[in-house]
Amino acid sequence: MNGSWAPPRDGSSPYANILFGMTVVYFFLSIALVRFMVGGLPVRSLFGVLIFCAVYAIRPALLLRALADNWRLLLLIAYAAFLGLMVSLFNDATMGDTLRQLLEIHFQAALCLLTGYGLLHLMGARRLVYAFLIIACLSGVLAIMQSVHFDPAWVVREKLQLFQEYDAEALFLSKRMRAMGFSFSPVHLGTQICLGFAAVFLLYSAYNNNRELPVAMKIGLWLFIMLFIALVSGNRSPILGFAVFAGVYAFYVRPAYATLAALFLLPFFGLAYISFVENIDFFADTEVRALRVGDKSSEGREALRAFGGLLFMDRPFGYGLLFNSLLHVEPFWPELQHYENAETVWGNAVHNYYLLIALKYGVLFIPAVVYSIYRIIRNFGIILGFIPYAIHIYFHNDGPLQSDFMIWFFLPLIGYIDTMKNFNWAAVYAPQAEEIRPEGESERN
């Protein structure tokens, strides 16, 4: 990001307030009414286009800067779109269905990225993150109430479902199997709380030194909140992700103390593991799903991963954007039937985002993966908060360029942080300045 211009401060102005309200509504539609359609189009997508138009109508020149500052990510999206198109056509997919996938996945990703960038510069990082947290946390509160069988909390979710197309995930709702808050399913809620935590961490990185103890304590508070929501909704992968984050973050903030603590606690971890093994039947039968092991869902993951591996070895150049693993089970069933709960491959996708992306795009997607890893290593201290998200999607199907479009709103924050930390505010803005000014305007203007 170009440091020669002034990033706007968080403040109060008529258009910033209006955009904040619109963003809150957008995230509500994206979380609570994701399948609400008008004329065959999702209302959330239509509203997202409206926000994009509003952002760049207010500041048209900002669009050129958005393209310049995000060209690497836009190029990655374009490469994925081109590769997805080629692989899909090679696998005899129809052009109409393929173009629909390009529109729903890649065009929407680019639109969300540019919209997030514009919102970031017109209303500030705090408001962008808070707009998401308002809805995500309300969804979490509703999930907590659903977990204790508070009937009105379930009625709210049932009323929202009336506006949406039926989906297999509605089974969770019809039987009230797992708390889901506003979200379309418990798994979606898990994705959203992981993304909410990542956004909070980015916000602390932008405005604070996240190595400082007071900031670390605030991050710990948010970690506890999101962990509790994961627990009541029966999401095990976010719990694992939050635990891994806590360990990595401890070494990042205080490496010497963390090393001593790890050495001291190592015997206790050993005893805990022995206790877990000895009481495996208890954890297999516990009513708390987040603590349960050995159920059909966890037992079937090995079969799903093996199935995904066989599919990749059979067609390493990918299956295209219309890939559906359920259409390819029969040839591989003799090799899969010996796995525990192998029948899950007949009714479930591979349940591994990384494997699913490999199966869709094939080995030619490796350059994009290498570039992504390079950017992750380069910005590791900033994006630590995405560790729970990265672990969660390992066990599920959603992720960037695959169902999760909201993450693109927050990726511009990564580049924004360096500008926020290094810019000399005093040279541009007076201390009493509260209004967000258009790019290039001085205070006297």
pLDDT: is 273 or 323 the higher one? 323
To the nearest whole percent, how much of the chain has pLDDT over 90?
48
Angle between helices 151-161 and 125-147 (to 10 degrees): 120
Cβ atoms within 10 Å of 397's Cβ, excluding its own? 20
Question: How does residue 1 score in pLDDT terms, banded at 50, 70 and 90?
Answer: very low
DSSP annotation of 403 reads B
Chain centre distance of CA 425: 32
Per-residue pLDDT of 96-132, as tens digits, reads 999 999 999 999 999 999 999 999 989 888 999 999 9
Identity at 228, one-letter amino acid code: F
Residue 132: what pLDDT?
Answer: 96
| Domain spans, the chain | 14-427
Give me the half-sphere count of Cα atoms (radius 13 Å) on the Cβ side of residue 373.
6
Tell me which of 150-154, 286-290, 338-342, 408-412 is least confident: 286-290
pTM: predicted TM-score of the whole model, two decimal places: 0.86
Distance CA 441, CA 439 (A): 6
Which residue has better confidence, 386 or 266? 386
pLDDT at 439 over 80: no
What is the pLDDT averaged over residues 14-30?
A: 93
Q: Residue 199: is its pLDDT beyond 60?
A: yes
Among residues of the chain, what percentage have pLDDT more than 70? 82
Nearest to 165 by CA among 40, 49, 47: 40
pLDDT at residue 270 tops 80:
no
231, amino acid identity:
L
pLDDT band at 166 (very low <50, low <70, confident <90, very high): low
296 or 84: which carries more pLDDT confidence? 84
Return the higher-pLDDT residue of 150 and 436: 150
Is pLDDT at 206 greater than 90 in this prediction?
no
As a whole number of angstroms, the distance between CA 21 and CA 23 comes to 5
Residue 287 — pLDDT band, cuts 50, 70, 90?
Answer: low
pLDDT for res 380: 85
* Separation CA 22–CA 28 (nearest Å): 10
* DSSP H or E segment with residue 38: strand 37-38
3-class state of residue 149 by DSSP: coil
Residue 369, pLDDT score: 93
Residues 205, 129 contacting (CB under 8 angstroms)? no
C-beta of residue 369 within 8 angstroms of C-beta of residue 333: no
Question: Which pLDDT does position 422 carry in this prediction?
Answer: 57
pLDDT at 184: 84
Mean per-residue pLDDT for 420-443?
47
pLDDT at 112: 96
Which tokens sit at 67?
Answer: 């393209």
Determine contact, residues 380/342, Cβ cutoff 8 Å. no
Q: 308-330 as b/e, with b when 16 or more CB fall inside 10 Å?
A: bbebbeebebbbbbbbebeebbe
Half-sphere exposure of 326 (CA within 13 A, CB side): 5
Q: Which of 5, 4, 13 is nearest to 437 (CA)?
A: 13
Tell me: the pLDDT tens digits for 378-397?
Answer: 888 888 999 999 999 999 88
* Euclidean distance between CA atoms 17 and 215, whole angstroms: 27
User: Phi, psi (5° rounding) for residue 41?
Assistant: -115, 140
Of residues 359, 315, 370, 319, the one with CA closest to residue 76 = 370
CA distance 329 to 349: 11
